[in-house]
């Protein structure tokens, strides 16, 4: 089968590799749609500890091709969505409700529940093998298209979780720092949960416009405006929740400074170095702040809930898919996405 | 009346000042017992922005001397305990449940609910005026002595809140980094909430011994042992909760590294500079960590609950009061406490 | 001043009574808009233990006429909204976060925080005195009209709390049993919090139509349909949350039977007799169910948050005000509202 | 192998049946210790819909005899404890955190996660087959005996969950109505979580004495005392939490009447008929009450946590095992336990 294989720093592309077979508790999907994640850019640039020869990609939509022994309630031919995280449901972390930190057959030292395109072959391929399939195959309602659900696998689940982990309440003021794909989904999530004021921050005109389209009440251009001062003024003394969605010192620190006493910083960005917690913005007792982090929640029940939100038209993420490519043209897709050309937000990849 | 007045860097001591009078909603107490807090050391050293002329101290036990207009349910002569934080109960923060962040008559920019010995005259005096007395006078049950309740005003309320804010659950493994007065109370709090393993860390033999006495199952001497390695080994991969109770980069960073994925760092220490969040110990998505901070919860209902724990013999904090002084000898008490002489943990001050 | 005074069973109407004066911590408002609550119908019918001579009404919008001593941050002339419940913020219940159960100056045996038009003179008058004004006067943003905020005082706060107390989560299926004013607001609340499927149940065509307008995805007419069977089918085995908003055995029992295992019944209706918990619908351990009840949350911070939702156009309750009356015509208003004539949902009363 | 087989109303006893074999994901244990649950009495009396031919019992301690395919991290010979509920970890309920309501391979209509001795052969036998073994085999620390852990499988997990589901907080007043095995464990659980006052209610001298031994501060004999009046007096207006642990109208109603406004009734008893919620004790809005129910939480992580509490000597349940029998004498054990003879609380059964 054809698959996008990582070979080394900036060395990757379509190869003909062996089609996977399903073992106990596993399923093989024929991939019908997938996408490229910002994390995949880090992988192909060699910034992550991923083995040469790995098939990249962790956001599969597909059709069940083969079911291994020990599965119940699925049929070959079912259309399914699989989250980026594939929890086993049966380890210490999963049984504690930390599905994202799944460490099947191991203690908590394990690598977490992200396996596809990380420790197992991924979804930028014609076929992909799903581990712990009983916990991870979410049937797609007939009335929903592949395009309508593919972004739920990762960015919507992650972005929404930024609002959920913070515990956004009715009437809250929420600021979302950076309006890339994850930040835009955090904006949607805050809106879904009943925030009364949502402030989107970015420095890119396309993304600021998209932020307004996806639910921000106010946008702040960090190139020309004082982010912290503006947020504190708009909110009468600080936001209830600040969601960090880029992974830089600046966005992290601004998020902290935007908060009211007792406010919550929900951190979604992946940082690339040591962060500073400045004394004047963080000192226990001064602010009663909370900092929460969340890795993309997965599992079939999470995917089912997110699909229900799409089915009932609470959410329409389709404006975020700005471009589409065939699997064979995947290097072209990576180039466009990596260089943020042509107003790209997310690309669809069709095997 | 006599009171301990702050005048400038290391300038403080007993002066004869005017006795306070109760205005609307206020009460005046005749102080029968108080203590010195680590924070008071910072104040008399001039490290906090406190005005010259202020009476120091925020942990009063006393008898009601005068009741201002607008109060209900109290009588002159009642024995009462008042928390270090005196929330109004009626501002935006209080009505949201953030009593510690009280900002009466103001927005969230206010200084928080800590007033006694900070923005108002404090308790190291013969008399002290209590603002928002309706919300802050907690009657002391007859069977409890002043000594049994004085530490509830601040260090017990704060230390216990370290465990409460983290949400310690039955069977948790909890590590408490530093076993000073607050850390010892955090140890007691974790024990009260049902942690199955409590690990106390310090570098002082007296405090390590006291930690065992107050409920730690294991103690680690950071002078000779690898704190993180030992905690990870004892807990089979990381503590559920790490409570930081000193306010240094080392304890903060160790706390973070001691956690299991999905674990919570509860930060009680007051930091004196910028903190580092190292990349390998904190990166969103890698660990699903939470960092929570709490300022000492106050208000009469908090004090009532804590006194109930003493009354039912769940808690005995008396071993922590190692020394006793008359108010007139308060400089001597500060010297002993500040230099940590003679195995001092807390001192009692009798006006 | 003119006021609607309760005298006995079905004896009530406009009288000329003394204008109130503000004592310590109190404020007097010139009422500019109010409404009639279903509870007021019970009162004038003599079904509640309310004293003869009481001015009825608990939903005031007005202008500050007089401020008593001890208040801070308000000015005569400020436009304000006051919730139906007026918590003191300083008693045991309030300091525990149970503002609705306020028992100022008393133990928990007190009557709860509902005072206006219950134990104190109410809002169907030209002037009304507000107790604990510091905690209860919520300034109305200039851009909002009286009509836009009056329903927040009670039915919106109560209806939304039905969803909040149940902890509605993104993607939940919620059924709301009965679509009167409270049920319609519960429908709005469930929508605001991100439920994916909202099912409205009633037996009145006008109300079923209004339910769809206010956010129900599906409506069930209990006159012709099997409520429980339909809900279980629509939700694939049971709703995550069922909100009871009428106060009858039938709606309560249906709510219970509509739930999935682990689901939550949020009970808002005021019952008039003993309820049955049938064995086959409720037996501990069989269902892991929760039943939660909430009295209308009050206080100025609650009102502020709700007004923010209106200001940001998340909520528009104006379709619910179907009729308007002058204060002098209040008996006519009670008649129309009590008999549910002319498709009435809520009436506005202008003093 | 020998096993206690249910055949019909009061027809049960030791038979020689086929030894089970492990399929995919299953394990077979050689049972070394088990016990009899109150639920088993209902089963042998024919009060539950259990099939003739079923092996009874749901509290197994044993040694792994055989491991089916698809398991990881276990070895034949490991000593393990298995909870009464055996969740799959991979269905909609489990992935939502409702492990007790597990409905593997099915929607929420399933029977819940209780399988052993209910829908599958149980533990009163020489061997027992465990479904979803990956999620359910909890290794027993070497230093703990079988006797120290056997009660964790059901009554301790259930009893503690009564306190956990209610959210007992530091300083709470908790009343536990009925001090049978489950109620005694609820008493222990409330104590573990930091309740300041625990009131045990029963009408049996042995059980009242045991309640004091297990942590009750006060006991009330319902034969001679006014339960509600006494609780309201002791708690100054009502308990924060009331735990019902018998399953009768009287205990349920008393629990409700013992609560303060905003208090929580945690219902553990299994009711045998319709319950009444009296108008004067329950009416939405009057009390802001919550009623929570919980079925015994299971899964290996739950068992691990409970064993940690025993290992650290927080809990010693051994006084509750008052009698011991060989498997062959099980009818004698049922007779003693069922008739509550000789001060029996729990019996140990050794295959």
**Nearest 5°: phi and psi at C347?**
-115, 145
pLDDT band per the 50, 70, 90 thresholds, residue D111: low
- What is the share, in percent, of chain A residues with pLDDT greater than 70? 96
Average confidence (pLDDT) over D273-285: 75
Does the pLDDT value for residue D48 go beyond 90?
no
Average confidence (pLDDT) over A20-29: 97
Residues of D in contact with A89 (CB under 8 A): 88-90, 94-95, 135
Q: Which of A155-169, B69-83, C309-323, D103-117 has the lowest mean pLDDT?
A: D103-117
A130, A27 contact by CB (below 8 A): yes
pLDDT band per the 50, 70, 90 thresholds, residue D271: confident
Does the pLDDT value for residue A107 go beyond 90?
no
Highest averaged pLDDT of the listed ranges A43-52, A96-105, A263-272, C181-190 = C181-190
Task: Choose the closest CB to A283 out of B107, B270, B296.
Answer: B270
What average pLDDT does chain B have? 93
pLDDT band per the 50, 70, 90 thresholds, residue A110: very low
pLDDT for res D281: 75
Does the pLDDT value for residue B88 go beyond 90?
yes
CB contact under 8 A, D193 and B193: yes
pLDDT band per the 50, 70, 90 thresholds, residue D3: very high
Residues of A in contact with C197 (CB under 8 A): 308, 312
Residues of A in contact with B173 (CB under 8 A): none
Cβ neighbours for C219, distance < 8 A, ≥ 6 positions apart = C179, C199, C200, C201, C202, C208, C211, C212
pLDDT for res C287: 72
Does the pLDDT value for residue C286 go beyond 70?
no
CB contact under 8 A, B217 and D192: no
Does the pLDDT value for residue B111 go beyond 90?
no
pLDDT for res A300: 97
pLDDT band per the 50, 70, 90 thresholds, residue A273: confident
Q: Which of A46-55, A300-309, C153-162 has the lowest mean pLDDT?
A: A46-55
Q: Closest residue of C to A172, CA-based? A: C305
B346, B322 contact by CB (below 8 A): yes
Does the pLDDT value for residue B245 go beyond 70?
yes
DSSP per-residue codes, C245-268: -S--HHHHHHHHHHEEEEEEEEE-
What average pLDDT does chain D have? 93
Average confidence (pLDDT) over C80-106: 88
What average pLDDT does chain A have? 93
CB contact under 8 A, D247 and C107: no
Task: Choose the closest CB to D73 out of A87, A96, A105.
Answer: A105
CB contact under 8 A, B95 and C88: no
Average confidence (pLDDT) over A17-43: 96
pLDDT for res A108: 35
Does the pLDDT value for residue A281 go beyond 50?
yes
Using one digit for the tens of pLDDT, what is the confidence trace for B53-63?
999 999 999 99
- What is the share, in percent, of chain C residues with pLDDT greater than 70? 96
A179, A202 contact by CB (below 8 A): yes
DSSP per-residue codes, C267-282: E-S--SS-EEE-TTT-
pLDDT for res D37: 96
pLDDT for res A85: 93
Does the pLDDT value for residue B181 go beyond 70?
yes
Nearest CA-CA partner of B81 in B125, B45, B31, B16: B31
Higher pLDDT: B260 or A49? It is B260
What's chain B's length in residues? 351
pLDDT for res B104: 60
Which residue shows structure tokens 């503002």? C99
Does the pLDDT value for residue C117 go beyond 90?
yes
Residue ranges of E strands in chain C: 2-8, 11-16, 27-35, 54-55, 61-67, 79-81, 127-130, 138-139, 173-177, 197-202, 218-221, 239-244, 259-267, 275-277, 290-293, 321-326, 346-350
pTM for the whole structure: 0.96
pLDDT for res C284: 46
Based on the number of CB atoms within 10 Å of its own CB, is A224 exposed (0-12), middle (13-18) or buried (19 or more)?
Answer: exposed
Q: Which residues of D touch B (CB under 8 A)?
A: 160, 164, 169-173, 189, 192-194, 196-197, 217, 304-306, 308-309, 311-312, 314
How far apart (Å, rounded) are the C-alpha atoms in residues D109 and C237?
A: 6
Using one digit for the tens of pLDDT, what is the confidence trace for C320-348?
999 999 999 999 999 999 999 999 999 99
Nearest CA-CA partner of A173 in A98, A263, A253, A254: A263
A185, A172 contact by CB (below 8 A): no
β pairing state of C138-139 and C79-81? antiparallel
pLDDT band per the 50, 70, 90 thresholds, residue B109: very low
> What is the biggest distance separating any 2 CA atoms in chain A, rounded to whole angstroms?
60
Average confidence (pLDDT) over A36-59: 94
Does the pLDDT value for residue A345 go beyond 50?
yes
Task: Choose the closest CB to B275 out of A277, A289, A294.
Answer: A277
Average confidence (pLDDT) over B233-261: 94
- What is the share, in percent, of chain D residues with pLDDT greater than 70? 96
HEC states along D107-139?
CCCCCCCECECCCECCCCECEEEECCHHHHCEE
ipTM of the complex: 0.95
Average confidence (pLDDT) over D192-219: 97
CB contact under 8 A, D24 and A70: yes
Does the pLDDT value for residue B285 go beyond 80?
no
The distance of B191 to chain D (nearest Cα, Å) reads: 8
pLDDT band per the 50, 70, 90 thresholds, residue C266: very high
pLDDT band per the 50, 70, 90 thresholds, residue B237: confident
CB contact under 8 A, B95 and C90: no
Q: Which residues of B touch D (CB under 8 A)?
A: 160, 164, 169-173, 189, 192-194, 196-197, 217, 304-306, 308-309, 311-312, 314
Beta bridge partners of A278: none
Average confidence (pLDDT) over C14-39: 97
Nearest CA-CA partner of A38 in A183, A135, A143, A147: A183
């Amino acid at each position: 089968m054809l698959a996008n294989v990582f070979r080394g720093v900036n060395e990757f592309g379509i190869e003909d590799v062996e089609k996977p077979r399903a073992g106990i508790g596993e399923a093989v999907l024929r991939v019908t749609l997938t996408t490229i994640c910002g994390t995949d850019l880090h992988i192909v640039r060699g910034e992550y500890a991923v083995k040469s020869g790995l098939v990249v990609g962790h956001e599969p939509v597909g059709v069940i091709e083969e079911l291994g022994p020990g599965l119940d309630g699925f049929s070959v031919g079912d259309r399914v969505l699989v989250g980026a995280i594939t929890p086993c449901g049966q380890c210490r972390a999963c049984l504690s409700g930390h599905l994202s930190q799944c460490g099947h057959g191991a203690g908590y030292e394990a690598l977490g529940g992200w396996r596809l395109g990380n420790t197992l072959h991924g979804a930028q391929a014609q076929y992909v093998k799903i581990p712990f399939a009983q916990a991870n195959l979410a049937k797609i309602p007939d009335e929903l298209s592949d395009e309508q659900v593919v972004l739920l696998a990762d960015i919507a689940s992650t972005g929404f979780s930024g609002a959920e982990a913070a515990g956004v309440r009715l009437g809250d003021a929420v600021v979302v720092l950076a309006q890339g794909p994850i930040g835009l989904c955090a904006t949607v999530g805050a809106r879904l949960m009943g925030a009364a004021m949502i402030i989107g921050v970015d420095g890119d005109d396309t993304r600021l416009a998209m932020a307004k389209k996806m639910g921000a009440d106010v946008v702040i251009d960090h190139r020309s405006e004082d982010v912290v001062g503006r947020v504190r003024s708009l909110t009468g003394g600080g936001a209830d929740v600040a969601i960090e969605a880029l992974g830089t010192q600046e966005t992290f620190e601004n998020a902290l400074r935007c908060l009211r006493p007792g406010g919550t910083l929900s951190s979604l960005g992946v940082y690339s170095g040591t962060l500073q917690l400045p004394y004047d913005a963080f000192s226990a007792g001064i602010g009663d702040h909370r900092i929460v982090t969340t890795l993309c929640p997965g599992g079939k029940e999470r995917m089912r809930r997110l699909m229900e939100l799409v089915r009932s038209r609470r959410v329409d993420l389709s404006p975020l898919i700005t471009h589409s490519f065939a699997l064979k043209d995947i290097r072209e897709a990576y180039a466009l996405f990596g260089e943020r050309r042509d107003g790209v937000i997310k690309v669809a990849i069709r095997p």
